[in-house]
Amino acid sequence: MTLPTRNLSAARRRRSSSVQTSRLASGAAFAAALVWASFFGTTPVRTAAAGATTCESLSALRLPNTTITSAQVVAPGAFVPPAPARGAAPEAEGRGAPGAEGGAAGGRGRAGGPAAVYASLPSFCRVAATLAPSSDSDIKIEVWLPAAAWNGKFQAVGNGGWAGVISYAALAQAVAAGYAGASTDTGHVGGSAAFAPGHPEKVIDMGYRAVHEMTVQSKAIVDAFYGTAPTLSFWNGCSQGGRQGITEAQRYPADFDGIVAGAPAVNWMRLNGVRVAANLVAHATPESYIPPAKYSMIHNAVLEACDALDGVKDGVLEQPSRCKFDPKVLECQGPDGPTCLTKPQVETAQALYAPVKHPKTGAVLSPPLLERGSELGWGTLAGPAPVSTALDAFKYVVFKDAGWDWRRFNAATDIELAEKMDNGVLNSAVVNLKPFFDRGGKLLMYHGWSDQQVAPGNSVDYFTKVTRAVGNSAVGKSIQLYMVPGMGHCQGGPGTDTFAKMDAIEQWVAAGKAPESIVAAHMTAGKVDRTRPLCPYGKVAKWKGSGSTDEAANFACAAP
């Protein structure tokens, strides 16, 4: 995709636009917790909590830059999440088009919603605190401490989109598994970047400081309550949460022993720029726009051309890069219709599949934003308007103007400007993770090949650059990437998107070697109907030639 050098045509400017409403999927982060015990048979080894103090007495605990606002015992199954503050985004979701950047811990919400998981929670000590590491900081955190059967470990969970809310869903998942857990709103309320103008310290909190301060103070609270520090500390997040986890490895290598980073939005300011630019390409002229009614037609054509390339025809592309489907084969031979694409629509589809290039220099700015197989989710990046997560970056961080019109976006200058204005606070592009690895830290990355808003190739590119910077010997020892065929952004899609991420990182930390494969499941109506191995990047799951293609045991990870 070569970006245009000028803005939209006058005709395009006159067209009205609207931002698609975000799909509320707050239960999505719970599916793994609900099926792991029955399907994967994983039961945490737990130790009894020998509290050094009572829950209520934590209110008097004195910590640097910290005010504990409440500490109370929650009875089994009694937790009810507070109503979102005015303007806050739905829990663990971003804003904007369907599937907007979210998912604190990933998973699929088809095995019961949040209420079911909250109802099954054991008793825990719920601590709320406000952190103020700067004069303009107002960071809210919550730390949940199992009243009994603590496993001796700490798990911090990430946010989605522009954060602005405690990730109660992921916290519940962590406590249900025996961890002491923590989450933060990153210092502001509401799932947008409207907080940023005039508040550089709050932007720093959002970028990296809030998560670090939460981690430090949470561990102190854990120590005070149990009379001992956590034996191991883990991070678990997807999308923004993936960026947060990798940022921790970059800036604070001593905070965590293991980090699970799904669909990490690293290179975030550049990513926001190319996402706005891609939408402008999709609307280069009124005729360029591909209506959602045609997405299924394009997707079916892709599957017809490429589904069987991996040896199994199952509605999933195991390795999208092998698919060379050209949308030109769908070009209308006559008038426009539901079963074909006009020539401008063909050009749009081709651009969406292509690497994003600078309009003047031709330099590659980003891998393809959308891979073949992702067509059903094109409404997120190629819908009526750019995804609002990206728009907010330019409105409030780059131009500091709530009235900024995205139609004025200039790809030749504004992407570079975004990175320059950010000054590394939000971008999280550092690839030298040697200090984290030298401590024995493990980084488990995962990303869906059908991700509809964070380019799958963004993770491949980051993984490749990290291993180049620290040496290939780190692969499997300190860092590993697992691409998930058919999975969308953090969850969803026809792929096997439910897997025991925390079990995988726990086993890795214990054994010193990344899993050779991770069994993942696809579910329909809350029931597992397919399992597959997820393979380390560079290998793919290949059918052995016999047995059900819906059973992971009949596949092996091998070179493509």
Residue of 383, 494, 515 whose CA lies nearest to 449 = 494
**Contact assessment for residue 281 and residue 4, using Cβ atoms and an 8 Å cutoff:** yes
Q: How far apart are the first and last CA of the chain?
A: 27
pLDDT tens digits along 27-84: 333 344 333 333 434 444 444 344 468 999 999 999 999 999 999 999 999 999 998 7
Query: In the structure, what pLDDT confidence band is assigned to residue 3 with cuts at 50, 70 and 90?
Result: confident
100 or 171: which carries more pLDDT confidence?
A: 171
What domain range includes position 363?
269-422
Mean per-residue pLDDT of the chain: 89
Residue-level pLDDT at 4: 64
Q: Does residue 87 belong to any structural domain of this protein?
A: no
User: Is residue 96 pLDDT above 70, yes or no?
Assistant: no
List the structure tokens of 205: 């909190």
Q: Residue 271: which of 398, 357, 365, 372 has the closest Cα?
A: 365
Can you tell me the mean pLDDT for 169-183? Answer: 97
pLDDT at 104: 40
pLDDT tens figures, 237-293? 999 999 999 999 999 999 999 999 999 999 999 999 999 999 999 999 999 999 999
Residue 239 is among the residues annotated as catalytic for this protein: yes
Q: What is the mean pLDDT of residues 467-494?
A: 97
| Nearest CA among 534, 542, 537 for reference residue 558 | 542
Name residue 92's amino acid.
A
Quick: pLDDT tens for 215-232. Answer: 999 999 999 999 999 999
CA distance 361 to 345: 25
Residue whose C-alpha is closest to residue 196's, from 43, 490, 32, 393: 393
User: Which residues does residue 142 pair with via DSSP β-bridges, in sequence order?
Assistant: 128, 183
Q: Which of 390, 400, 294 is nearest to 339 (CA)?
A: 294
pLDDT at 117 over 50: yes
Instruction: Tell whether the model's pLDDT for residue 108 goes beyond 70.
Output: no
Res. 385: pLDDT tops 80? yes
Q: How far is 105 from 95, CA to CA, in rounded Å?
A: 17
For the segment 555-559, the average pLDDT, to the nearest whole number, is: 97
The answer to whether residue 273 sits within a structural domain is yes
Instruction: Report which of 57, 206, 75 is spatially closest to residue 127, judged by C-alpha positions.
Output: 57
Q: Which two tokens stand for residue 207?
A: 């970028």
**Cβ(171)–Cβ(250) under 8 Å?**
no
Residue 323 lies in a domain: yes
d(CA 72, CA 54): 9
Q: How many domains does the chain have?
A: 1
532 backbone dihedrals φ, ψ, rounded to 5°: -150, 155
Q: Among positive and negative, which fits the CA dihedral 344, 22, 386, 405?
A: positive
Pairwise pLDDT comparison (38 vs 190), residue with the higher score = 190
Rounded to whole angstroms, how far apart are CA atoms 237 and 170? 9
State yes or no: pLDDT of 452 exceeds 70: yes
H or E stretch covering 71: strand 66-74
Predicted confidence (pLDDT) per residue in 132-142, tens digit: 999 999 999 99
378 contacts 319 by C-beta, under 8 angstroms: no
Of 109 and 381, the one with more pLDDT: 381
Q: Please write the tens of the pLDDT for every residue from 427-437.
A: 999 999 999 99
The one catalytic residue among 188, 199, 447, 489? 489
Q: Is 211 left (phi over 0), alpha (psi -120 to 50) or beta?
A: alpha
> Any residues with CB less than 8 A from the CB of 423 and at least 6 apart, and which?
none
pLDDT tops 90 at residue 92: no
Per-residue pLDDT, 530: 98
Contact 533, 552 (CB under 8 A): yes
Active-site option among 451, 459, 497, 517: 451
Q: If we measure between CA atoms, which residue out of 386, 384, 390 comes closest to residue 292?
A: 384
SS3 state at 418: helix
Q: State the pLDDT at residue 105.
A: 40
Average pLDDT over residues 553-560: 97
451 a catalytic residue: yes
Please report whether residue 362 resides in a domain: yes
pLDDT in the model for residue 213:
98
Residue 319 lies in a domain: yes
Tell me, yes or no, if 447 is annotated catalytic. no
pLDDT at 112: 56
- pLDDT confidence of residue 473: 97
312 pLDDT above the threshold of 70: yes
Three-state DSSP class for 69?
strand
**Which regions of 373-460 does DSSP assign to beta strands (E)?**
442-448
Q: Which token pair is 538?
A: 């560079």
Angle between helices 268-282 and 411-422 in degrees, nearest 10? 160
Q: How far apart are CA 143 and CA 145, in angstroms?
A: 7
Length of the chain in residues, anyone? 560
The mean pLDDT value for 381-386 works out to 96
In a domain, 441, yes or no: no
In a domain, residue 466? The reply is: no
| CB contact at 8 A, 58 and 226 | no
Question: How many CB atoms are located within 10 Å of the residue 213 CB?
Answer: 24
pTM score, whole prediction:
0.90
Average pLDDT over residues 134-152: 97
Q: Give the model's pLDDT for residue 113.
A: 65
Q: Which residues of 109-145 are buried (b: 16+ CB within 10 A; e: fewer)?
A: bbbbbbeebbeebebbbbbbbebbbbeebbbbbbbbb
pLDDT for 6 equals 47
Q: Would you state the pLDDT for residue 28? A: 36
Average pLDDT over residues 326-331: 98
